[in-house]
Amino acid sequence: MEMTRKRAMVSLCTALFIFGTIGVVRRALPFSSALVALARAVIGMASLLLFMRVRHHHTDTSALHTYWRELLASGVMLGLNWVLLFEAYRFTTVAVGTLCYYMAPIFILAASPFFLRERLSVRKSACIVAALCGMALVSGIFGEGAAEGSASGVLFALAAAVFYAAVVMLNRRTRAVESFDRTVVQLGISAVVLLPYVLLTEDVTALTFDAASVGLLLLVGVLHTGVAYALYFSSISALSAQTVGLLGYIDPVIAVLLSALLLHEPLGVSGVVGTVLILGAAAVGEMAEKET
C-alpha cells in the first residue's frame, strides 16, 4: 500500500524529532561512546531486519555485491561518525555538538568540486563562508554564548561531521542499493568494526548494567535507530527531495531547544546568531544544490 503524502509528512517529522533527542539521551548514558555506538549498531540492525521481515522486503543481493567496496567504507565511517558524535556530547553542550555536527552539509558543498565534480557557485561559496562564521560563533571561541563547550567537544563534532559527509557522498554512489538494504549492511559493518575496539579498550567484565542504563541503550537502538530509520526511509519516497531537505532542520532545532529547556544549556546571543548562520547556510546551500 502506497503511503499518502500526509502520512509521509507525519512519519518524516516523527523520525526527525526522534533524531533530535539523541543528544539528551546520550548525556544520560554512563557508558563509553564506543560501547553506545556498538549497541546502537547491533540493536538498530536487528530492529530494521525485523521491520523488513514484517514488510516481506526482498533484498537485492546483486546490488550489494556490486557496491560492496562503497558499503564497506561507508559502514566503517558510520561507526566512527557515531563514536565521535557521542564523544562530542560528553565534552560540550548538546546544542553546540549538534550545530557543529550540522556542518556536514557545508563540508559536502566544499568537497563537491573535488569528489563529485560539481561546480562551486558564488551562492554555495557564500554559504560555506556564512556557515564557517556561524560555527565560530557557536563554538564560543569569541568568549561568549557557548563558551562552556570545550574545544575538544567542538573538534569531535566537526570530525563526526566530516565522516558523516563522507557517508553521504558514498551513499550517492550506491543509489542502486535499496535504502533499507544499504542501512542494514552499514550498521552490520559498523558493529563488526566497533566490537574488537570495545573489547580491546574496555574491561567488559567490569561493566555494570542496571534497568535504567539498559532501557536507555534499548531506546537508542530501537527508537533512535530502528524505528526512526524505518519511518525516515518509508516516508522519503513519497515526498520531494526539497521537502525532505527542508524538514530535515527539525532535527537540529529540536536538539537546540531540548538543550536549553531540559539541560539548561543556553547558547547566548552569539550562539543564536551562529545557529541562524549555520542552519540558514545549510538550507540555502541545499536549495542551490537542487537547482544545479
Per-residue pLDDT, averaged over 185-210, amounts to 91
pTM given for the model:
0.85
The least confident of 119-123, 124-128, 188-192 is 119-123
Q: What integer is the mean pLDDT of 90-96?
A: 88
Q: What is the mean pLDDT of residues 178-190?
A: 94
> At residue 205, what is the residue type?
T
> What is the mean pLDDT of the segment spanning 84-100?
90
Query: Is residue 147 very low, low, confident or very high in pLDDT (cuts 50, 70, 90)?
Result: very low
Residue 149's pLDDT band (cuts 50, 70, 90) = very low
pLDDT above 60 for 148: no
- What percentage of the chain exceeds 90 in pLDDT? 45
The mean per-residue pLDDT over the stretch 79-86 comes to 95
Query: In the chain, how many domains are there?
Result: 1
- pLDDT (tens digit per residue) in 202-235: 888 888 889 999 999 999 999 999 999 999 988 8
pLDDT digits (tens, 9 = 90+) for 257-266: 898 889 888 7
What's residue 245's pLDDT? 74
Calculate mean pLDDT across residues 188-203.
92
pLDDT at 285 over 80: no
Give the chain's mean pLDDT.
Answer: 86
Domain that holds residue 87: 5-291
- Comparing 286 with 187, the larger pLDDT belongs to 187
